[in-house]
Amino acid sequence: MRKPTHLLAFGFGSGLLPKAPGTYGTLVGIPLYLMMQPLPLLFYLLLVALGFVAGLWICQRAAEDLGVHDHSGIVWDEIVGYLAAMAFAPPGWIWIAIGFLLFRLFDIFKPWPIRWIDRGVKGGLGIMLDDLAAGLYSAGVISLLNLTGWIS
């Protein structure tokens, strides 16, 4: 944790917790989302894209330093994936919870092509891309729930 890249890669320490580091990393995304939520959508998406691009380097460096391709403690990808999931979510705690649950489900169960990305794409891109895909799946479900009015 002495290196700034490790501080970010390990989600400000959340990835160091012994059980379910990805879940704790995703929780770190919630206050970041709350800070970013009032931004115009284009600026929000730009920040998520910058987080993704930065994550390519951050996660690659951390993986190289640790000698493990996708160490479970590296959670920057979960943070960015959750932010992607929430891009089109309406305001409110119910949507924050739904986004959290959907993202964790897609990240854990890895439906196609998430599992293929997770197994086939290496380096920082592989670490980041499967969580971005889980975030995009989540954003799609959130949008459908919102459009259909199932959650009010």
Sorted by where each begins, the domain ranges of the chain are 4-148
* CB-CB contact of 68 with 12 (8 Å): no
- Non-local (6+) Cβ contacts of 112 within 8 A are none
* CB-CB contact of 123 with 60 (8 Å): yes
The pLDDT value recorded for residue 152 is: 67
- Residue 17, pLDDT above cutoff 90: yes
User: pLDDT tens digits, residue range 38-92?
Assistant: 999 999 999 999 999 999 999 999 999 999 888 989 999 999 999 999 999 999 9
Residue labelled with tokens 């000698």: 67
User: pLDDT tens digits, residue range 85-144?
Assistant: 999 999 999 999 999 999 999 999 999 999 999 999 999 999 999 999 999 999 999 999
* pLDDT band at 1; cut points 50, 70, 90: low
